[in-house]
């Protein structure tokens, strides 16, 4: 194996490990919020394990968590006076839609179980 190949392999492994570790703690009560801006995709696992999703209050808290995570993965900066860009709005909308779909699945499972 050449030195160039070894360096490339090490770099690939280094990049892959954080992503694998980030999702190591995901369980059945997590909602993954994915945000894509340009060519970059960021993901956050949001735990719902402590919530009663059969209650209105639990669903509101869950939606609040998802909204905060969507802002974070799409690059929102608190206190910014800059208006939201079309790219940010698209990222935020898609992140919310995907996460709310997953949340609705969890809600149905808790209400039936």
pLDDT confidence of residue 81: 67
The answer to whether residue 107 scores a pLDDT higher than 70 is yes
Position with higher pLDDT, 71 vs 4: 71
SS3 97: helix
Instruction: Parse the chain into domains and list their residue ranges.
Output: 29-110
Q: Across the chain, which distance is largest between two alpha carbons, in Å?
A: 60
Mean pLDDT of 18-38: 69
pTM of the model: 0.72
């Amino acid at each position: 194996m050449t030195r160039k190949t070894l360096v490339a392999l090490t770099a690939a492994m280094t990049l892959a490990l954080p992503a694998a570790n980030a999702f190591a703690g995901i369980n059945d009560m997590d909602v993954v919020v994915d945000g894509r801006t340009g060519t970059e995709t960021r993901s956050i696992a949001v735990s719902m394990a402590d919530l009663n999703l059969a209650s209105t209050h639990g669903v509101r808290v869950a939606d609040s968590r998802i909204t905060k995570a969507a802002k974070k993965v799409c690059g929102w900066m608190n206190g910014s006076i800059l208006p939201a860009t079309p790219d940010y709005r698209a990222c935020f909308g898609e992140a919310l839609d995907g996460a709310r779909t997953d949340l609705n699945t969890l809600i149905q499972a808790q209400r039936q179980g």
